Amino acid sequence: MPVENKDIFLSTILDSIAEGVFTVDREWRVTSFNRAAEEITGIPREQAIGSLCREVFRSNICETECALRQTIETGRQIINRHIYIVRADGETIPISISTAVLMNEQGELIGGVETFRDLSAFEELRKQLNSSYALGDIVSKNHEMRRLFEILPGIAESDSTVLIEGESGTGKELFARSIHDLSLRAEKPMVTVNCGALPDNLLESELFGHVKGAFTGATRDRKGRFAIADGGTIFLDEIGEVSPALQVRLLRVLQEHEFEPLGSEKPVKVDIRVIAATNRNLDDMVQKGEFRQDLYYRINVMQLLIPPLRDRKEDIPLLVDHFIQRFNRLKEKDIAGVSDRALLVLMRHDYPGNIRELENIIEHAFVMCRAGLIELEHLPRQLVGEIPPATFSTGAVSLDENEAMFLTTALERNQWNVAATSKELGLHRTTLWRKIKKFGIEIPKNDR
């Protein structure tokens, strides 16, 4: 076939596919640009051909980590790397790219080829899906968390005292904030006090304020947090750390809606809603005489128990995406997501520090990762070290393998009880059995 006909034949094939394709020579000038590339970038083929690659394909990695340059210099292909490009109209859009080298018939390197697809529709769908699993800044698709989402608006409207229980790092303050924001007090302040961060004498002054001369150094009157929160909400975090003596004063505020600043005998009336939180078992503390029973009953009108992250690992991909989007805004980066291998490591970890620990891991990865996907090397070393090396010996981990691993872990956690696992995950039992069969997960005969 004549060279001209070959070129026409190749051009026809390239124009018939949905992915954008362009090629460059050794001088980084564009030598071909298919129809899909025109549509995705908004740049006509005539303008692209002969131009420098970076002038046409304006991406967030052009200057620092050009994927095509890496491939041409190393000979290694890049597959489905997520990046962002700026279209001709100035719109920034997410895309997925793959790269390869171009060789002539003599096996000599003559340039490179890059294929890419527009992920805008996928990103919009992801945002819609994520929003359906969100309540304010709280994101979850866990069955128990979704139940909390459903009852939270009613609790917010009631103005009753709320006790939020859960391990450190589970997001108790986020729930308190959501309750306040959904309440009739939303226009008034929400004041947070960490009761475990201050010794008793300072905490008492912090909560109730003081008058001038109440103690050495009290040179003027000072409002306490209860007074500042008047009309709004006060969030007493780590209330289990409050001493018995101070518990008596807290009880009076809850019962009488009044208190006396330090050094004053004049009571101050306040209209506040109290939300308390603890990572300790207050019921056990009451039994041991470490926490007043009457105060416990006062704060435990409505109770929310936040499950730890290890019991809702299906939320990890959702939370990872949530933190990536937030850190992209805060740090002005364009990290597209996490690789399958990195996600596998994140899914296997038990998170003793809960959501706060996961957030710190992603922030660490943001420091290490300049653009594209968060990979294994961007995660903390001790985290990657928890996974046996053989886990990664067969190459990339597929989404199906991740899901199979996640379901197996959930079944093990529930002693292989399918009914309990389906309830925890919010899956219908039929759906769970179908997935068990699909992934070939073997359940011990006595545990069905």
> Cβ neighbours of residue 226 under 8 Å, at least 6 residues apart?
207, 208, 209, 234, 253, 259, 268, 270, 272
Q: Are residues 295 and 401 in the same domain?
A: no
Domain membership flag for residue 403: yes
Q: Are residues 75 and 183 in the same domain?
A: no
Strand 162-165 vs strand 190-194: parallel, antiparallel, or unpaired? Answer: unpaired
pLDDT given for residue 397 in this prediction: 47
Q: What is the CATH number of the domain that holds 27?
A: 3.30.450.20
The rounded distance, in Å, linking the Cα atoms of 132 and 138 is 11
Q: Count CB atoms within 10 A of the CB of residue 40.
A: 21
Domain membership flag for residue 126: no
Q: What is the CATH number of the domain that holds 379?
A: 1.10.8.60
Q: Are residues 259 and 362 in the same domain?
A: no
pLDDT given for residue 446 in this prediction: 60
Domain boundary among 287, 307, 327: 307
Paired strand residues for 275: 162, 235
Domain membership flag for residue 127: no
pLDDT tens, position by position, 133-179:
677 778 888 888 989 999 999 999 999 999 999 999 999 999 999 99
Can you give the residue range of the structural domain that contains 402? 311-447
Q: Are residues 420 and 318 in the same domain?
A: yes
Q: Are residues 185 and 262 in the same domain?
A: yes
* This prediction's pTM: 0.66
Phi-psi category of 398—alpha, beta or left, where left has phi over 0 and alpha has psi -120 to 50? Answer: beta
> Cβ neighbours of residue 285 under 8 Å, at least 6 residues apart?
240, 291
Domain membership flag for residue 98: yes
Q: Are residues 320 and 365 in the same domain?
A: yes
Q: Are residues 219 and 115 in the same domain?
A: no
- Whose CA is closest to 371, among 317, 311, 331? 331
Q: What is the CATH number of the domain that holds 296?
A: 3.40.50.300
**Separation in Å, CA 278 to CA 30, 165, 208, 235:** 61, 5, 21, 11
Report the number of distinct structural domains present in the chain. Answer: 3
Domain membership flag for residue 294: yes
Low-confidence ranges of the chain (pLDDT < 50): 1, 3, 393-397
Angle between helices 399-413 and 340-348 (to 10 degrees): 10
Domain membership flag for residue 19: yes
**SS3 sequence, 196-252?**
CCCCHHHHHHHHHCECCCCCCCCCCCECCHHHHCCCCEEEEECHHHCCHHHHHHHHH
Q: Are residues 197 and 109 in the same domain?
A: no
